[in-house]
Chain A
Amino acid sequence: MRLHPADYLIIFLYFLFVVAVGFIIKKRIRSSNDFLSSNRSIPLWITSLAFISANLGAQEVLGMVASGAKYGIMTVHFYWVGAIFAMVFLGVYMMPFYYGSKARSVPEYLSLRFDEKTRALNAVTFAVMTVFSSGISLFALAKLLEVILGWDFDLCIWIAAGIVMVYTFLGGLTSAVYNEVLQFFLIVLGLSPLVIVALQDAGGWSAIQQQLQPELTHAWKYMGKADDNPMGIHFMSLIFGLGFVMSFGYWCTDFLVVQRAMIAKDLNAARRTPILAAIPKMLMPIIVVLPGVIAIALTQMASDAGDYRIPQDASGGLDYTMTLPSLIAHYYPSGLLGIGITALIASFMSGMAGNVTAFNAVFTYDIYQSYFVKQRSDNHYLWVGRWVTLVGILVSIGTAYIAASYNNINDFLQLVFSFVNGPLFATFLLGMFWKRTTSAGAFWGLLLGTVAAAITHGLTIAEGKGGWIAPLFPISSGMGQAFIVASFSWIANFFITLVVSLLTQPKPDVELKGLVYSLTEKVYGNETIWYKKVGPISVVLLLITILLNLLFF
């Protein structure tokens, strides 16, 4: 793929603007709170778009297009089952605790609700996860640009990391959030024309439905038996594994996304952040799933040499990961090609910046200030936050090179992340809604839930992965295996927390006010217009989500 000077100009404009945003925001940074948590001053429309953009990294964009091509329309489950319900739950039930407790991070909430060791466990695993995720994002960006544009791998790593470093070092979280919003519009406007032209080329949706096997164009119809659908999972596994454990574990407890709601101006805005974010999230499959479904249909329809096909990998199979770049290369002329490439670069860089800013907040607040250097001036913590940003970027670069040297490091790290994230929601669910949950219960539940995830993975095998203890239970897809691992880890955490809590002494009620549902004053707000109220807008969103599921049943 060769770029025209106009394409380079668009990429340059993007780099110029993201760095400029850093310089503009820098003037507003006067305290550690400004730098690490935006001093809770960000307008609702920005927090809402940043909330979904934090999840719209390039692995997500490339991965969902790839899944659309591999699994068909079933991929929408990651949105209409695996996101909307959890986002609404976060806004309606959980934000009052995160925001109302004045905690600056998710681990800090755990320290208020439970104790320091639960906080430390969550903070350390989260910090490690984010900085490694950031490195993987950087590696993937450099690899993609090397493969499709022939750019130098090292140069891509250092330029991308350098730009992210400049704007996060200068403007901290606010700068990252502002660039996430820019990235959101760039992805939506940059990829929308692709959907239109590719759909037109395929002859429209009805032609695609006629071309593809029926299990690729129905979301639920073939989920009665695991063997009947391309994901190889039963609908109950999907609902529990993805729709409950993984979805609620990610959207309701991962500080990277929750942080975007915690920086809203007031509690009502914080509650509405994930709920309003659910509106564009609901429509995202048009941009990131539909292109994959169109691509597989076009590949099956292809007859001439010039027709679009999904590229093949070295073994002759379809290289689904390259679906989106290959669509961009095939359909976009110079000019729009620059926008498509910039959208990809933006999503990688934004994903990296999101991880680095979440990392520096957790490291500074929950590790450095809590365990190493207490009671220093605010200016001290501001500069620690800045230097931690720098360190986070350097570790990310190191991780990117490790990922380049060891082919399986990405899979390994993603696996470890799933072990950590899977059981976490059980800790929060019990902690927020059952006042009898004790600190010992939370800690041991979380720790042993993670161990249960590792054991389940060691006993199951899918697509050659897992089974490192004994491959006793074969599963037809890696996706199905992930759901099952998450489900078992959640169940283990839930029951261990329950049992240990019943055997140990809970905190007195007075210490749990504002942290537990039954001991917290209910917030109804004073909004008069229905769409500004959390309840009615949530009900409308859930009804639309159910309708969408029925429409593509």
Chain B
Amino acid sequence: MNLFNRFNQLGFVIGIFFILVALVLLIGYGISEALHRPINLYSGLLMLAFGIFMIRVKDEE
């Protein structure tokens, strides 16, 4: 299934959303003093793991 078609899958869309949100937290943790808090790091990692899990979920499953 190509990437465009995968955007029809809700699991994929949710996965991408949480990966992007996780990247905001993780990159922000690395480069911004305001975001350099352990809770941002742990939450970012949790959301990254969840995002990766969701992009592997197919709607029919």
Which A residues contact B (CB, under 8 angstroms)?
4, 6, 9-10, 13-14, 17, 20-21, 24, 43, 45-46, 178, 181-182, 185, 189, 193, 197, 331-336, 338-339
With A185-B50, A189-B47 already in contact, the answer to whether A336 and B60 are too (CB < 8 A) is no
Q: Which of B40, B46, B59 contacts A335 (CB 8 A)?
A: B40
The complex places the Cα of A136 from the Cα of B7 at a distance, in Å, of 33
Scan B5-18; emit 1 where CB is below 8 A from any A CB, else 0.
00110100110011
Q: Which of B29, B35, B43, B44 contacts A4 (CB 8 A)?
A: B35
Q: Distance in Å from the Cβ of A257 to the closest Cβ of chain B?
A: 19
Contacts of A335 in B (CB 8 A): 24-25, 28-29, 34-35, 37, 40, 43-44
The complex places the Cα of A145 from the Cα of B8 at a distance, in Å, of 32
Contacts of B54 in A (CB 8 A): 185
Contacts of B47 in A (CB 8 A): 189
Q: Which of A9, A185, A339 contacts B43 (CB 8 A)?
A: A339
The complex places the Cα of A178 from the Cα of B28 at a distance, in Å, of 29
The complex places the Cα of A43 from the Cα of B37 at a distance, in Å, of 39
* Given pairs A6-B28, A17-B17, A334-B34, 4 additional interface contacts (CB within 8 A): A6-B25, A43-B60, A335-B34, A339-B21
Most buried by B among A4, A9, A14, A336: A336
A-B interface contact total, Cβ < 8 Å: 82
Q: Which of B29-47 contact A (CB under 8 A)?
A: 29, 32, 34-35, 37, 39-40, 42-44, 46-47
Q: Distance in Å from the Cβ of A363 to the closest Cβ of chain B?
A: 27
Q: Distance in Å from the Cβ of A532 to the closest Cβ of chain B?
A: 13
Q: Distance in Å from the Cβ of A310 to the closest Cβ of chain B?
A: 21
**Inter-subunit contact A336/B43 (CB<8 Å):** yes
* Closest partner residue, chain A, to B14 (CB atom): A182
Contacts of B46 in A (CB 8 A): 189
Q: Distance in Å from the Cβ of A98 to the closest Cβ of chain B?
A: 23
The complex places the Cα of A14 from the Cα of B50 at a distance, in Å, of 16
Contacts of B14 in A (CB 8 A): 181-182, 185
Scan B48-61; emit 1 where CB is below 8 A from any A CB, else 0.
00100010000111
The complex places the Cα of A45 from the Cα of B35 at a distance, in Å, of 34
Q: Which of A4, A20, A339 contacts B34 (CB 8 A)?
A: A4
Contacts of B35 in A (CB 8 A): 4, 6, 333-335
Q: Distance in Å from the Cβ of A291 to the closest Cβ of chain B?
A: 15
Q: Which of A45, A182, A336 contacts B17 (CB 8 A)?
A: A182
Q: Distance in Å from the Cβ of A51 to the closest Cβ of chain B?
A: 15
With A189-B18, A333-B37, A333-B39 already in contact, the answer to whether A46 and B10 are too (CB < 8 A) is yes
**Inter-subunit contact B7/A24 (CB<8 Å):** yes
Contacts of B20 in A (CB 8 A): 13
